[in-house]
Amino acid sequence: MAIVHYDIVFKDRTPSVEKIKARLEERMGIKTQFGKDQLDKDLSHTWPHIGKVHESGTLECDECGDSDLEMTVGSTGVRISFVASSVNPYFRDSTLAALIDLGGHWDARLPPMVGKKWGELSRAEKQLGGHH
């Protein structure tokens, strides 16, 4: 099982989980859920690229094949982590696109399907990379 981490860096303020979730839902046209982790203030730490950790938890999309990814919001960036084989690529890439919309910096190119709402995707696009 391969766990993949993407770090999206922000020049200005990092958006809150609520803003990220709202932008993602606006992009996709469907609801997501966020289960927030409890952070022990005494144990909060600083990570390379994303800075001091503010919020952490699991972002889930039931309609996208029960996909979920871990999201950690820091002072200078956001890290998303996921198991490659168990997250729908549309959900993953739409999350990246939402972070870019909010001012995040990402060097890679995103596929054109992130410009569509979930309901506009073909059956094949919705199933792309889903659970096997």
Can you give the residue range of the structural domain that contains 120?
3-127
Q: Count of domains in the chain?
A: 1
Cβ atoms of residues 59 and 71 within 8 Å: yes
- Of the chain, the end-to-end C-alpha distance in Å amounts to 13
Residue 132 lies in a domain: no
Residue 97 lies in a domain: yes
Cβ atoms of residues 24 and 95 within 8 Å: yes
pLDDT digits (tens, 9 = 90+) for 5-39: 999 999 988 999 999 999 999 999 999 999 998 87
User: Token digits for 91?
Assistant: 């959900």
Q: What is the pLDDT of residue 39?
A: 72
Residue 32 lies in a domain: yes
Residue 56 lies in a domain: yes
Residue 22 lies in a domain: yes
Q: What does pTM read for this prediction?
A: 0.90
